[in-house]
């Protein structure tokens, strides 16, 4: 028998699933259905923490005795402007033009919800990216090739997006992809689920 409650990832993102697979823990995944709109006056850290918890809790009825992982990400310019998922080419062009030559902070929220007991642990990680000065031709060419329209900040770190940067800083580069594995490992270990000692038998 498994040593702890089954694990569920509350996300439809293939990138988050690939990251979670690195911990070599068995898990299921399902897409939560929540409203991701920010509330008036909400900061980027507050937004991602709230949405991460909401995503995890949204699957509680379907998975009543599980540890459910929720995560959400936004980017923020130095002036506090929040950059979410662009949704289309035009908005993605606008986002990358705003990011060009700037340092942009990416906030990734993380929640671990125990659906049996109702406890939830929530936190966020920050990763800062320094964008190169980008020409319009570079922006348009990149977006047409990768079409990262469902990614906060209009790029995918795990693809050609790395060519947009001149540097970055932060504790865990997985944060930029969308799931901070170091922080997640801390939360799982606190719940008795250590990837280094887990045994399914």
Helices of type H across the chain: 14-21, 44-58, 89-99, 136-146, 174-177, 181-190
Instruction: Tell me whether residue 72 is one of the annotated catalytic residues.
Output: yes
Residue with tokens 């990216």: 129
- What's the Cα-to-Cα distance from 158 to each of 44, 46, 146, 162, rounded to whole Å? 23, 26, 11, 7
Alpha carbon distance 42, 68 (integer Å): 24
28 close to 11: Cβ distance less than 8 angstroms: no
Residues forming beta bridges with residue 76, ordered by sequence position? 82, 105
Q: Which residue out of 33, 61, 72, 186 is catalytically annotated?
A: 72
* Structure tokens, 31: 């897409």
Whole-number Å distance between alpha carbons of 3 and 159: 36
Nearest to residue 84, comparing CAs of 117, 39, 38?
38
**Residues acting as catalytic residues:** 72
């Amino acid at each position: 028998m498994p040593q702890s409650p089954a694990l569920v990832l509350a996300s439809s993102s293939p990138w988050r699933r690939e990251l979670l697979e690195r911990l070599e823990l068995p898990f299921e995944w399902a897409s939560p259905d929540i409203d991701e709109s920010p509330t008036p006056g909400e900061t980027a850290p507050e937004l991602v923490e709230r949405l991460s918890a909401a995503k995890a809790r949204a699957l509680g009825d379907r998975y009543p005795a599980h540890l459910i992982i929720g995560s959400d990400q936004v980017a923020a310019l130095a002036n506090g402007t929040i950059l979410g998922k662009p949704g289309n080419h035009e908005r993605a062009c606008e986002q990358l033009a705003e990011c060009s030559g700037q340092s942009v902070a990416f906030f990734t929220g993380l929640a671990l919800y125990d659906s049996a007991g109702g406890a939830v642990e929530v936190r966020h990680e920050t990763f800062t990216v320094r964008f190169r000065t980008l020409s319009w031709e570079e922006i348009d060419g990149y977006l047409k090739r990768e079409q990262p329209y469902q990614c906060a900040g209009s790029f995918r770190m795990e693809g050609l997006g790395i060519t947009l940067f001149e540097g970055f800083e932060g504790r865990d580069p997985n944060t930029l992809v969308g799931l901070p594995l170091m922080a997640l490992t801390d939360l799982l270990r606190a719940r008795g689920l250590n990837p280094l000692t887990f045994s399914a038998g």
